[in-house]
Amino acid sequence: MSSEETNISKANLTIRSVTARAVDAPICDIDSIRRELPCGFAEAIAAGASDFIMPDLMKVGGVTGWLRVAGQAEAASIPMSSHLFAEASAHMLAVTPTAHWLEVLDLGRAILAEPVQIVDGTVTARGPGLGLSWDEAAVAKYLV
């Protein structure tokens, strides 16, 4: 196992902190703590509840929210990985001082004109904006 991805709540933050120090596998906290903890990842980072964090760009407040969390991670020297949406997260990790792993769940392949491509273990952010272009015919199949 390379890491354990978990959802935490404020109620068990102290327990998670003790667990993170006691186990051999790295502990990763994902975006669900954004909903539970008013200061986002800051409280989990301060408590030492994880070895790295994985915000979800779509749930953490987009680019602005990502940059806030990246600042928290940098201040604590904690690695920051992405959670889903690899096409856009590749751009965000490129400007994340403590960038770690890019999580790739190729969910957009069916509707993207140019799906994410991994070459030699690397994904290159491409194109203007988020670098996404839709396969209009494929999108039309899913219209309701």
Q: CA-CA distance, 112 to 61, in Å (whole number)? A: 23
SS3 53: strand
Could you read off the pLDDT tens digit of each residue along the chain, which spans 144 residues?
444 445 555 566 666 666 666 666 666 665 555 554 445 677 777 877 778 888 888 888 889 988 988 999 999 999 998 888 888 888 899 999 999 888 888 888 899 988 888 888 888 777 777 878 899 999 999 888
* pLDDT number for residue 38: 43
Q: CA-CA distance, 128 to 80, in Å (whole number)? A: 24
Q: 4-107 in CATH: which number?
A: 3.20.20.120
Say which DSSP state 11 is in: G
Phi, psi of 119 (to 5 degrees): -125, 120
Q: How many CB atoms lie within 10 A of CB 48?
A: 17
| For the chain, domain boundaries | 4-107
Does the pTM surpass 0.95? The reply is: no
